[in-house]
Amino acid sequence: MDNHTAYFQKQRSRLLGLAYRMLGTPADAEDVLHDAWMRWDAQDKNRLDDPEAWLVAVTTRLALDRLRHAKVERAHYTGPWLPEPLIETSEQPEEQAERTETLTLSFLVLLERLSAEERAAFLLNEVFDYSHAETADMLGITEETCRQRVHRARQRLRQDRPRFTSDAQTQRRLLERFAVALEQPTEENLYALLAADAVHVADGGGAVSATLRPLYGAERIARLYLQINLMEQGHQVQRQLHVLNGAPALLTWADGKLVTVIWIECNDDQIVSLQVLRNPAKLARLEAVTKSQAGTSLH
């Protein structure tokens, strides 16, 4: 491996994290990295004062172009759109700080509410810790414009952030209780786990059954899972806990096929929101990887 290839590989994890946070889809993020590599390979490296900044700028601009097109497509998506989980095969300790909260599905869903331009400026400045001047240079805008975009993004995210906070340990505990309740569900034991104003958002992509709009209220969500339990009758169902996108997630398998992944937000003792991924196209890569990994099995 030559020095220029080795340098790109050293930056790859960071660039992939940026592209994924921009797009919410691993395949698109990988495509962006491939295009960035092609441009890097063709670039005269001796003319670059700051190779890292050049790579980040190219990756961001490529992701911006894809995101603008993706937003048009997502406007016509069947039902709610949720990001596809990022499957990481290695962990870099120095990147843990920028990997956890800003990789959760809750955070990625919030980012969807920003314009493509606001999203890019916010991620570079707030998540990847580039200054306003550096971010502006990467995006080809003035520093004042950059400050405005970051400020607007920060305000919008602050307004839309959930009113509750929960740590991974609490999420895991409530997911375990939820999984147990799903084994022999009653409206009462499900209702007890859900906040009265809980919200349920499911992404089936039009390919499988899923609620086409957010479902509000503990009673309605409890009834939904009673219905799901009836549909599971006669199938071999297994549930496992994994950590996906920096947060605990409950995976449900039916007859050896991954059919559902659930992430939650909660207060101290109740689930406040459920983000449910059922789109088979988004579960395919995860299914292949998790079959070779051991999760916490909940029968």
At 187-206, the pLDDT tens digits run: 999 999 999 999 999 999 99
Q: 112-148, pLDDT tens digit by residue?
A: 999 999 999 999 999 999 999 999 999 999 999 999 9
Q: What percent of the chain is predicted at pLDDT more than 70?
A: 91
* 65-69, 90-94, 227-231: segment of lowest average pLDDT: 90-94
Q: Which residues contact 138 (CB under 8 A, 6 or more apart)?
A: 53, 56, 57, 60, 124, 130
Burial degree of 69 (CB within 10 A; 0-12, 13-18, 19+): exposed
* pLDDT(296) > 90: no
pLDDT of residue 100: 65
- Calculate mean pLDDT across residues 83-95: 65
Residue predicted with more confidence, 299 or 114: 114
Which of these, 250, 14, 16, lies nearest to 129 by C-alpha position?
Answer: 14
* pLDDT(9) > 70: yes
pLDDT of residue 97: 45
Q: Give the DSSP per-residue string, 62-78.
A: HHHHHHHHHHHHHTT-S
pLDDT band for 99, please (50, 70, 90 cuts): low
pLDDT of residue 164: 60
pLDDT of residue 289: 83
Mean pLDDT of the chain: 91
- Calculate mean pLDDT across residues 45-49: 90
Count the alpha carbons within 13 Å of 40 in the hemisphere toward its beta carbon.
Answer: 27
* pLDDT(159) > 90: no
Q: Which two tokens stand for residue 67?
A: 């995101």
**DSSP structure class, residue 102:** G
Q: Is the dihedral of CA 10, 112, 66, 28 positive or negative?
A: positive
Q: 206-263, pLDDT tens digit by residue?
A: 999 999 999 999 999 999 999 999 999 999 999 999 999 989 999 999 999 999 999 9
pLDDT of residue 298: 61
* pLDDT(101) > 90: no
- Calculate mean pLDDT across residues 75-87: 93
Residue predicted with more confidence, 87 or 7: 7
